Chains A and B, each alone.
Chain A
Amino acid sequence: MSRRISYREAMREAMQEAMRADPRVFLMGEDVGRYGGTYAVSKGMLEEFGPERVRDTPLSELGFTGAGIGAALGGMRPIVEVMTVNFSLLALDQIVNSAALYRHMSGGQFSVPAVIRMATGAGRQVAAQHSHSFEGWYAGVPGIKVLAPAMVEDMRHMLAPALADPDPVLIFEHAALYNMEGELPDDCVPDIRSAKVRRAGKDVAILAYGASLHKALAAADALATDGIEAEVVDLRVLRPLDDATIMASVAKCRRAVVVDEGWRSVSLASEIMARIVEQAFFELDAPLARVCAEEVPIPYARHMEEAALPQPEKIVAAVKGMFA
C-alpha cells in the first residue's frame, strides 16, 4: 500500500513525528515559526509545538547554526534549518570548524548530534545568490554526513536516522522539488547509508542525486526509445559515498555518466569519477562522462538558467557520445 504525498509534506511529517517522539528534538531557523518556513516546510508546526521548540531566529546564520551545534553538545537534538545553501556559507565556520571536528579533536569525548537542513539547487529563477549547489563541498569534509533526498520516501524517512546518529548530519533538500508529489510506500526502510538503484538497466550507469535524479530518469526514458537501457543510481548519501553500489552498477553497465548540479571543476562528480577510475577502471568500455552545472553564476533569465544546468538532453547526448 502507498499514499500520495509531497516532498515538502514528507519532511514536515518527519519533523512532527520526531518532535512528538522526543522532547529533545526542536527546530530552529529563520522564519520557521510564524512565517511557516521559507518553503512552508514547517507550516503549522508552531501551533502544535510552540515557540520554544519551533524557534524563529534572527538572520544570524553563523550564530544560530553554532547555537544549534552547542545545543547538541548540551544534550538536545536540534534540527537547524538554514534557508538556502548559499546562506550556509555564513555558517561554514561553525559547521566545518566546530561540528565536523569536535569528536575527533576531543579524543572522542564530545559528539555533535545535530541535524542541519537546507534548501539547495536551481531551477526557480531566483538568480545566483539563491541557486547554487554546494553540497559537494560539504561532502568533502570529514566528520559530517551528507544526505540528499530526491524522492518523497527519503524525505520522509531520512530524518529519524539522522537524528538518531550521534554525529552531525546535513540534509540537502532540492528547492525545485518541494512541490513534487510522489507515492510513499507504507513499508519504507529508513536508510542513510546506501545509494539506491532507481531504474535497472545494463548499458550505461547514470549516477545522480537531488533534482538531477529526475532528469536522469527522464534521460533514461528517452534513451530507452533508442534501445539504450540506462541504469539510474540515486546516490542520496553524498558522504560517505556508497562505493559498493556505484561500482556494482558501473561493473554491470561498463559505462558511466555522473550528473551533478554543482560546478564541474573539483565537484562531487569529479570525486566519483576518480573513485571509479581507482576502483573499476578495468570494467570500463568507454571513457567516463559527467554532466554538471556550467561554470557560471546561475543566471536569472529562464532560458539562461536552463542552459546553465544539467538537462535530460545533455545527459542523453553524453550517453550517446559513449556509443559513437
Chain B
Amino acid sequence: VAVGALGALTPDDNIVATYREHAHALLRGMDMGVLMAEMYGKREGCARGRGGSMHLFDRETRLFGGNAIVGGGLPLAVGLALAEKMQGSKRVTACFFGDGAVAEGSFHESMNLAALWKLPVLFCCENNLYAMGTAIERYESQVDLCVKAASYNMPAEAADGMDVVAVHEAAKRAVDHVRQGRGPTFLEVRTYRFRAHSMYDAELYRQKVEVEEWKTRGPIHTFTTRLKAEGKLTEEEFLALDAAANAEVDRAVAFAEAGTWEAIEDLATDLYSPAGAAP
C-alpha cells in the first residue's frame, strides 16, 4: 500500500501515518539503521528513542509521525493541508489510517472539514478488514467505506490493496485530483494483515485458513510472479534483490545494536522548546 501510494506523491508532500508507518519512513528515504535504532529505543533513532516503533518522525522528509491514537492523525492532516492552502503551496497532505479509524468521530469531523474547506488531503484508508480483533462487519453498519466518503461530497475509489500497480494507479488519480485544487479524495485500499496485531495477539478472532488464503495473494509474491512471467525479472535478479534487502536489514540491526542510550539526565529535554526559541 505504501509503495503504491507514496509513488504517486512528490518527496515534498506531507505524510501523516499510523503506528504502521515503517514502510512510509523507508520510502521517504529514512535510513533503515536509523529506523531500527528507533525501534531499539536508541539515541541514534529518528526520535532519539523517544517514540519507538509507533512514532517515527522525520522533519526533513515531512513525515509528521506515526500516530498511535486511532484516527488521531486525521485532524492533523486537515490542519497541515489548511496551512499549505493558506500559504499558497501545491503540497498534498497524504493521511494514512486503518479501517478501524472510520468508526472514530475524528474521521467524520476531518472528512467534513477537508471537504467543506476544499483542502488538499488524500485520505488513504488501509482496509485490512479487522480493527485489531474485531471484523469490520461486526463494527460497521456500512462496510462499503467509499459510501461514507460520498456522504461528504468527496470523490472515493476502492483499489485492490494486494496489487501494487492497482494501488499506484488509483493513488495517482486521487493525488491528481487533490493537486489540481479540487479538494480532498478518499482512497480505500483493500488489503489484509498476515501477522498478528501485536506480540500479544493470539489471533482467536480469525481462522488460519483465511490467513493462508490471503497469503496466496501476497503483493510481493504476486507482483514478482507477474514480473517474471512478463520477462521483466529473472529468478537471479529476484534472489539478488532479496539478498540485498536481507543484507540491509542485517546492517540496520547491527547499527541499532551498536547504538547508544540517551542520557537519563535528558529525560525532560524537548518537553518544551529552549527558552527564547523562536517558533
For the A-B complex with A67-B78, A103-B270, A105-B57 known, give 16 more contacts whose Cβ atoms are closer than 8 Å. Answer: A62-B105, A65-B75, A71-B82, A73-B64, A75-B83, A76-B86, A97-B69, A98-B72, A103-B272, A107-B45, A107-B46, A109-B58, A110-B59, A113-B279, A142-B271, A166-B277
The secondary structure that dominates the B interface is: mixed
For residues 93 through 112 of chain A, which have their beta carbon under 8 Å from a beta carbon of chain B?
93-94, 97-98, 102-111
Partner of B83, one of A52, A70, A111: A70
* A312 touches B (CB below 8 Å): no
B279 with A164: CB separation less than 8 A: yes
* A64 touches B (CB below 8 Å): yes
Pick from A77, A98, A106 the residue with the most CB of B within 10 Å: A106
Q: Given the complex of chains A and B, what is the CA–CA distance between A163 and B279 in angstroms?
A: 9
Known: A70-B76, A73-B76. A58 touches B113 (CB 8 A): yes
A-side interface residues toward B, CB under 8 Å?
26, 52, 57-58, 60, 62-78, 93-94, 97-98, 102-111, 113, 142-143, 145, 163-167
B112 with A60: CB separation less than 8 A: yes
B64 with A143: CB separation less than 8 A: no
**Shortest CB distance A179–B (Å):** 33
* B33 touches A (CB below 8 Å): no
A74 with B79: CB separation less than 8 A: yes
**Closest Cβ neighbor of B51 among chain A residues:** A105
B47 with A109: CB separation less than 8 A: yes
B-side interface residues toward A, CB under 8 Å?
14, 16, 45-51, 55, 57-59, 64-65, 67, 69, 72, 74-84, 86-87, 105-106, 109-110, 112-113, 116, 269-273, 277-279
- Please give, as numbers and ranges, the residues of chain A lying within 8 Å of B116 by CB-CB distance: 58
Q: Given the complex of chains A and B, what is the CA–CA distance between A106 and B269 in angstroms?
A: 11
**Closest Cβ neighbor of B83 among chain A residues:** A74
B51 with A67: CB separation less than 8 A: no
B272 with A70: CB separation less than 8 A: no
Q: Given the complex of chains A and B, what is the CA–CA distance between A62 and B57 in angstroms?
A: 23
B65 with A102: CB separation less than 8 A: yes
A66 with B46: CB separation less than 8 A: no
Known: A57-B113, A60-B112, A109-B59. A71 touches B79 (CB 8 A): yes
Known: A63-B75, A70-B79, A106-B47. A77 touches B279 (CB 8 A): yes
- Please give, as numbers and ranges, the residues of chain A lying within 8 Å of B72 by CB-CB distance: 66, 93-94, 97-98
